[in-house]
Amino acid sequence: MAKVIHAMFRVLDEVRSVDFYKKAFGLEVSERLDFDSFTLVYLKNSSADFEIELTVNKGREEPYDLGDGYGHVAFCVEDLDSEHARFEAAGLSPRKIVEFDRDGALLARFFFVQDPDGYQIEVLQRHGRYR
C-alpha cells in the first residue's frame, strides 16, 4: 500500500520559509540537499513522519504564480484557540476561526494562515476524522 511522505512547495527565500514553518508548526530541518541549480529542504517534527519539502530554485527572483486552483496542506492541533492566539502573537496573521457543522454536529473547527510564498495552510482542531 502507498504511504504519503511529503508535500512540496517552491519557495524564494529558504531562511524566511524555514523560520515560518518552525515558528508556526515546530518543524525542523530533517535534511538539506544542495544541487547546482536548486536546494531541497525537508522539514518535519516528532508528531509524524510526513515532511514538507521546500524547493529553492537558485537564481529565481520572481514570486511563483500559484495559479487559480485552490489547494492547501493541513495540520491538526489539540487546542485551536490557543494556537490561533499564539499565531497572532507571533505575527503570523492567522485568519479567523471557522466552524463547520454537518447534520447538526460539529465537523471541523479551523483557521487558515498563509506562508511567506502565499501557500495556504489549514490548522484544524483535533476532532473526529482530523487526528
Residue 53: inside a domain, yes or no? yes
One DSSP character per residue, 82-95 reads: HHHHHHHHTT----
Q: For the chain, what's the residue count?
A: 131
Residue range 94-120: mean pLDDT, rounded: 95
Predicted confidence (pLDDT) per residue in 37-88, tens digit:
999 999 999 999 999 999 999 999 999 998 887 789 999 999 999 999 999 9
Would residue 130 count as lying in a domain?
no
92 lies in some domain: yes
- What is the predicted pLDDT for the residue at 1? 87
**Active site residue ranges:** 122
User: Degrees (nearest 5) of the Cα angle 114, 120, 125?
Assistant: 95
Does 131 fall in a domain? no
What secondary structure letter does DSSP report for 46?
T
Structural domains of the chain, count:
1
Residue 52 in domain: yes
Mean pLDDT of the chain: 95
- The residue range of the domain holding 57 is 6-125
Which CATH number characterizes residue 67's domain? 3.10.180.10
Q: Is the pLDDT of residue 129 over 80?
A: yes
- Is the pLDDT at 2 greater than 80? The verdict is no
